Structure 1
Amino acid sequence: MSDTVSVVIGGTSGIGKAISLRFAAEGGIVVVSGRSVARGEAVADEIAQRGARGKFMSCDVNDTNSVADLLSGVTRDFGTPTILVNSGGILQSGTRVLDQDLEENQRLWETNYNGTLRACQLFGRAMKEARKGAILNIGSLASFAPLSLPAYTAGKTAILSLTQMLAAELGPFGVRVNGVAPGYTLSDGLKDKIAQGLRNPEEIKATTALRAFVEPEHVAEAAWFLCSEKAASITGVMLPVDAGWLVQAPYGSYMRGNPIRD
């Protein structure tokens, strides 16, 4: 990946930051993007301290012009981007569909789905013209399961479909489109909630087959693989990185009604 130009939208913290650092370790140029200048420049500085090449460029995925300016800036400074990672997004607290606040629904949909769509359209056109590239979208367990997060789940399910459609449309032009679906990831946000007593770490781990949290670096490894030439024949995939939550949930649920007796 030494000749790649990677753009990580939402690369200023959490999973996006881990992906930025992982890609930088493989060489090439990593453009860290997001709304926070302070956090973005800190990630770019960390990349530089590791002897790699990184630069921060601001971007607000809610603004089409801002995403277009990001693409223009990257192209001007480094040439056509070869990798795009859409890691920008916002989370939601649990609620019921009948209680879903419509303003919150609009806010999450605009950022999580429409923000991803904007970047895929603009960067996808540039990659199509160049006839090469890789796009990676960040899905979720909610892309596969009906979690009690009505606005978030709907958007992440749509991102799965978007990833599959784009893979079919861009494949003939040498552009691959995949995604990763992280499970309970031990990010700074989750660590804070655990420290405040708002989340029970043992109960969370018990919902996974591996009885473990996902680390941001685990997601970054999967992201690197899917964007690298090692995955040259893989497109249209949403890869769960979930410590086995998706298999444990139905298996454990069935076992409660039909226990295995030794």
Structure 2
Amino acid sequence: MKYKVGKNTGKKIFYIGIPAVVVLGIVWVAGLYLRSDGFEGISAAIVLEIAGSIVFALLTSISFAAWVFEDCKKRGEDAVLWVILIFITGTFVGLLLYLLRRSEVKRDCPSCGHRISLRAKYCEECGNLVENREEVMLMEKRTHHLKYLICGTVCAVLMLTCLVGFCVSLASGEGVNNSVSADKNLWNSGVITMSVETKLGNTWKVRFNSASNGFVKEAKMKIDDISEEKLYADISCGEVPEGAELILWLVQGEKAESINVTNLSEPLEYPLNEFQQGKIRIRLQINGVKEVKSQIQIK
């Protein structure tokens, strides 16, 4: 089934899509800013590299999708279906599939409007002789809508540049806080699997199956009365390979304390009188343990 589309649909994809993506990028950066306490623990350069990668990737898709749309119209292909396919499969995969699959360029018969091959001498629908066939073939072979291709190529290069910059920054550790004892947001570069987390007030529940070595889960809590309140932790590790451990960190300002909670025989009860009233970071540093269930609270 082929869909009827307007004459300027390709331009709409291009000109409406670009500002829409830019707005989405701004919203994403603003959301990250609010969620991470003003980019605490991460440099502005890293944020721009991440945002740039996402925005330029979407702009690349939009640009090439607009070109594919126009090319489909020339060949009598289902333009809407191919544009959707490009966004679903990824820009470069979808574009490659289209270039391998696309049919020959066609033109409208000047007599009946039926789509016919550029090489056709007669229209297969009405039988009329097709004039100016050589001239039309030369015109159709020229690269069309170069602005879409140029924009897509430029955006793809910028996307790769941002990705490379982000990977280099992440590998070098510059601009990203990865110190578990630092009193600012910690940004993990690894992965955690089957993680379920809930936090209500000063009660934090988290469980997971496994995680990259050194991966850190974090929650922010608040100490209201250092003389009365304590930290309670009920933690169990289902699988502890040799050398694996789970470390509980309490971080506030320049003070950082660590407790090995790998093999707790009973729930931990930890006094907080050495800390100060106010916010405190509670962290679980995962070093190889698996199937962990934990409930941590201050009360």
Tell me if TM exceeds 0.5: no
Compute the TM-score of the two structures, normalised by the length of structure 1.
0.25
Whichever structure has more strand as a proportion of its residues is 2
What is the TM-score normalised by the length of structure 2? Answer: 0.23
Q: Which of the two has higher C-alpha Rg?
A: 2
More helix as a share of residues: 1
